[in-house]
C-alpha cells in the first residue's frame, strides 16, 4: 500500500522494487493519487482523512512517483480507475448503513459511525469528480 510509504521514502520504496526485479521485469502497483497540480499544497496540509482515517497516510501524485523512480524503472501502462472506485465507496456506504444498528451495538459511538459515513461520502465525491484518482500502473525495469 504505497499510501503508507510517505513522500520522503518514495525513492527508497522504488529502489527496493527495482532491486527485486530482473532486467525486463515488471511490477504492477495500485495507488490512490493526488493530482500533480495540488501535490505541493497537499504535502504541507492536513485534512479529515489524514487526521481521522489514515493518520500518517500520504497520497502521492503520479509526478512525485515518476520523480522518485530510479533510472532503471519506467512507467508502463496506466489505468485510471478512480471513477469506478467512487462506485465501490457508494456500495461500502450502503453496506455500512445496513449494519448501523449492529455497529452501534458493538459499542462504537455515534460520532464514530458518522465519521465513517462522512468518509465514504467524501471519498466517493472526490473520486467521482476527479479530485483524487486510483491508478493501476506498470513499472518496467530496463
Phi/psi of residue 27, nearest 5 degrees = -120, 145
Q: What average pLDDT score do residues 33-62 get? A: 96
The mean predicted confidence, pLDDT, of the chain is 97
Domain coverage including residue 90? 2-141
Q: What average pLDDT score do residues 75-85 get? A: 97
| 79 bridge partner residues | 136
Dihedral sign for Cα atoms in the order 108, 112, 118, 120: negative
CATH number of the CATH domain containing 120: 3.40.50.150
pTM, whole model, 2 decimals? 0.92
How many separate domains does the chain show? 1
Amino acid at each position: 500500500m504505497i499510501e503508507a510509504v510517505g513522500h520522503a521514502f518514495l525513492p527508497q520504496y522504488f529502489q527496493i522494487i527495482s532491486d527485486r526485479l530482473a532486467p525486463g521485469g515488471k511490477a504492477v502497483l495500485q495507488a490512490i493519487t493526488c493530482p500533480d497540480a495540488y501535490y505541493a499544497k497537499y504535502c504541507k496540509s492536513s485534512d479529515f482523512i489524514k487526521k481521522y482515517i489514515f493518520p500518517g497516510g500520504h497520497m502521492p501524485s503520479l509526478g512525485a512517483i515518476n520523480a522518485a523512480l530510479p533510472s532503471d524503472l519506467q512507467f508502463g501502462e496506466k489505468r485510471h480507475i478512480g471513477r469506478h472506485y467512487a462506485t465501490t465507496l457508494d456500495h461500502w456506504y450502503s453496506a455500512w448503513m445496513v449494519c448501523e444498528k449492529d455497529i452501534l451495538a458493538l459499542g462504537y459511538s455515534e460520532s464514530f459511525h458518522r465519521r465513517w459515513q462522512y468518509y465514504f461520502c467524501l471519498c466517493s465525491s472526490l473520486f467521482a469528480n476527479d479530485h483524487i484518482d486510483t491508478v493501476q500502473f506498470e513499472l518496467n525495469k530496463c
